[in-house]
A and B are shown apart, each in its own frame.
Chain A
Amino acid sequence: MIRPLLCVAAESVVRDTTSGSISVFNILESVSGAGFPLLIQKAAFLAVWERSSEDPQSYEARFAVTLAGTELLRQSVSVNFRDKIRNRTLLTVNGLVVPQPGKLTFSLTVSDEVVASYAIDVTATVTATDEADAIPSLAPPVA
């Protein structure tokens, strides 16, 4: 059975067309917002899979983004090894609306036993209000 070697979520994941190498930019570790719902304009998920030569080449998988167990996004994905031993699947989500704080999980599920997932915390930031307290006057009182 195939197994995930690596999975991570980041702001962007790109592939160099000349060398074939993958680069991950700004790994997501946590996201915070002043107000909700919060729009994450761009998020990317990378999963690297490995199979043995006896395993089939193509697998039907499900990509999902969930917040505290509630699905925000779901998409069927075909993981195709195309005669090779490794597969790198890059999923870019342009525009993800997060309704409230919680644990945001990106997952690519092939079966119950084969899941690549990565979770981050989405928190609310408390905005400070800069209101000056009343400052007592230092001038002597006028008689």
Chain B
Amino acid sequence: MTKLTREDLRSLARVVILANTAPSLYRGLLDTQIIPLLKRGSSVAELSNYYDRVTSRAKRTEIELGIAYALLIALLTHEDGAPTPDSARLKWGPAIAELITRSTAATQSIVITDGPRAASVTQEQSASSRSSLPPPQVGIVLVD
């Protein structure tokens, strides 16, 4: 079972206190590096049991909330195909689960501009167009 230091627990609590949205909580927890620690130090069953135990309590401290959200993220992103935890036990659980689902998609945005405006990356259009306008230019932005 993963052993978290006092500093780890403090940083979890800090993230929970400072987060005002689900994305900010998710990104804050990713920045703590505790999630890879949880995945390395515990089996999927241990993480799942711990998540059930922490989320079964009605009242939770900031540290317990931080641990719960970190466990949720660890289970949802586990490479060993962990069973899907019940994200609804946490206020921002479903929103974080949704974020994780969307982050599993690579996104590309390509702009084809008709005119001489230059983009960061340009390509010549290979086909001729019936239009008498100058050939369009292409800008490509890769995100994620």
Contacts and interface: CB of A to CB of B under 8 A. Distances in A.
Interface of A: 15, 17-22, 37, 48, 63, 70-77, 79-97, 99
A88 B21 CA distance: 25
Nearest to B107: A88
Contacts of B127: 71, 73-74
A90 B130 contact: no
Given A19-B23, A84-B104, A85-B104, A73 B136 contact: yes
In this complex, the member of A19, A72, A87, A97 whose beta carbon has the largest number of chain B beta carbons within 10 angstroms is: A19
Contacts of A95: 113-115, 133, 136
A87 B106 CA distance: 5
Nearest to B110: A91
Which 8 pairs of residues, A with B, have the shortest CB-CB distance? A95-B114, A86-B105, A74-B127, A97-B131, A82-B106, A20-B102, A90-B109, A88-B107
Interface of B: 21, 23, 98-99, 102-115, 123, 125-127, 129-131, 133, 136, 138, 142-144
Given A20-B99, A95-B113, 7 more contacts: A15-B107, A18-B23, A73-B127, A75-B125, A82-B106, A88-B106, A88-B108
Given A15-B143, A92-B111, A94-B112, A72 B104 contact: no
Contacts, number: 106
A81 B112 CA distance: 21
A76 B130 contact: no
A41 to B, nearest CB: 9
A106 B143 CA distance: 23
A130 B102 CA distance: 53
B112 A93 contact: yes
A19 B136 contact: no
Contact of A82 (B123, B130, B144): B144
9 contacts: A18-B21, A20-B107, A70-B130, A77-B108, A77-B110, A87-B105, A89-B108, A96-B114, A97-B131
Given A15-B109, A74-B125, A80 B142 contact: yes
